[in-house]
């Protein structure tokens, strides 16, 4: 009896010791990496914002001028979606939506959609996805330039009825063997355009409110060039 109890105790001790070591290892590497991971993601965000919107189009601090928009139908997720609002010389000039294409082949596809104030697409990039490597991953610019096909499109060009992939009678190419992925992205970009069309004034009003607060709180000298 005492023997089996000793064995049990030893087993418990070994598992506990290993578990403590494992937890220690993970928290140490979390400690080392967390800050860098965050910085990498932030750098990546700035880089992607530049990719979907020409920096010449705005002169405000994009990352500071962000609002949250909620519209599960048009923005693809029940969660609030980040919207970066760009202004030039105080006038609304463009917006970037961190929208979601909810119906990818393997779940959601995260997008950045850049539009100018007239609702013309300036650029679209995929920021995160779980599509099949070799098939659906052609939505990434590093693999195919398909995603640049959105540049210059708007709700009137092509007409709304042609905002679909070719197999669905639309204007946008699908990939061989993967129609679901491009269909999801095309729908999501179209929905962002529709949302922007309906809510543009409201969004920029909220952005202006943010900028007013910032201007008031900063010392006057900092605003001089």
Partner 1 sequence: MNGAGNLFMDGFWRNNAAFVQLLGLCPLLAITTTLVNGLALGIATTLVLIATNTVVSLIRGSLVPSIRIVVFVLIIASLVTTVDMLTNAFFHDLYRVLGLFIPLIITNCAILAQAESVASRRRIDQAALSGLATGLGFAAALVLLGGLREIVGFGTLFSGMEFLLGDAARGVYLNLPHDGMLAAILPPGAFFGLAALIALRNWLTTRDTNATVQKAEAEART
Binding test (CB under 8 A) with partner 1, winner from 68, 79, 130, 151? 130
Stretch that binds partner 1, among 48-56, 132-140, 179-187, 191-199 (CB under 8 A): 132-140
Does 46 bind partner 1 (CB under 8 A)? Our answer is no
Stretch that binds partner 1, among 12-20, 66-74, 77-85, 210-218 (CB under 8 A): 12-20
Stretch that binds partner 1, among 86-94, 131-139, 152-160, 186-194 (CB under 8 A): 131-139
Minimum CB separation of residue 13 from partner 1 in Å reads 9
Residue 217: exposed, middle, or buried by beta-carbon count in 10 A (0-12, 13-18, 19+)?
exposed
Count of CB atoms situated within 10 Å of the CB of 15: 10
State which residue, 23 or 213, has the beta carbon closest to partner 1: 23
Does 11 bind partner 1 (CB under 8 A)? Our answer is yes
Minimum CB separation of residue 33 from partner 1 in Å reads 3
Please state the φ and ψ torsions of residue 164, each to the nearest 5 degrees: -160, 170
Does 135 bind partner 1 (CB under 8 A)? Our answer is yes
One character per residue 82-121, x = contact with partner 1 (rule: CB under 8 A): ----------------------------------------
State which residue, 32 or 209, has the beta carbon closest to partner 1: 32
State which residue, 127 or 200, has the beta carbon closest to partner 1: 127
Minimum CB separation of residue 219 from partner 1 in Å reads 37
One character per residue 18-37, x = contact with partner 1 (rule: CB under 8 A): xx-xxx-xx--xx-xxx-xx
HEC readout, the chain: CHHHHHHHHHHHHHHHHHHHHHHHHHHHHHHHHHHHHHHHHHHHHHHHHHHHCCHHHCCCCCCCCEEEECCCCCCCCCCCEEEEEEEECCEEEEEEECCEEEEECCEEEEEEEEEECCCCEEEEEEEECCCCCCCHHHHCCCCCHHHHHHCCCECCECCHHHCCEHHHCCCECCECCECHHHHHHHHHHHHHHHHHHHHHHHHHHHHHHHHHHHHHHCCHHHHCC
Please state the φ and ψ torsions of residue 121, each to the nearest 5 degrees: -65, 125
Residues that bind partner 1 (CB under 8 A): 7, 10-11, 14-15, 18-19, 21-23, 25-26, 29-30, 32-34, 36-37, 40, 44, 130, 132-135, 142-143, 176-177
């Amino acid at each position: 009896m005492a023997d089996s109890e000793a064995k049990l105790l030893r087993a418990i001790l070994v598992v506990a010791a290993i578990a403590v070591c494992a937890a220690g290892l993970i928290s140490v590497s979390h400690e080392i990496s967390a800050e860098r991971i965050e910085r990498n993601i932030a750098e990546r965000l700035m880089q992607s914002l530049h990719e979907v919107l020409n920096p010449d189009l705005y002169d405000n601090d994009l990352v500071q001028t962000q609002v949250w928009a909620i519209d599960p139908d048009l923005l693809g997720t029940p969660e609030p979606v980040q919207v970066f609002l760009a202004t030039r010389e105080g006038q609304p000039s463009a917006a970037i939506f961190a929208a979601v294409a909810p119906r990818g082949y393997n779940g959601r596809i995260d997008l950045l959609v850049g539009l100018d104030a007239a609702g013309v697409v300036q650029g679209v990039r995929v920021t995160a996805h779980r599509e099949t490597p070799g098939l659906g991953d052609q939505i990434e610019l590093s693999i195919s330039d398909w995603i640049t096909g959105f540049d210059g499109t708007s709700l009137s060009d092509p007409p709304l009825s042609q905002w679909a992939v070719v197999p669905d009678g639309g204007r946008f190419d699908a990939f061989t063997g993967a129609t679901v992925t491009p269909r999801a992205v095309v729908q999501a970009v179209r929905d962002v355009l529709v949302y922007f069309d309906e809510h543009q004034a409201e969004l920029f009003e909220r952005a202006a409110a943010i900028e007013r607060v910032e201007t008031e709180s900063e010392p006057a000298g900092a605003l001089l060039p």
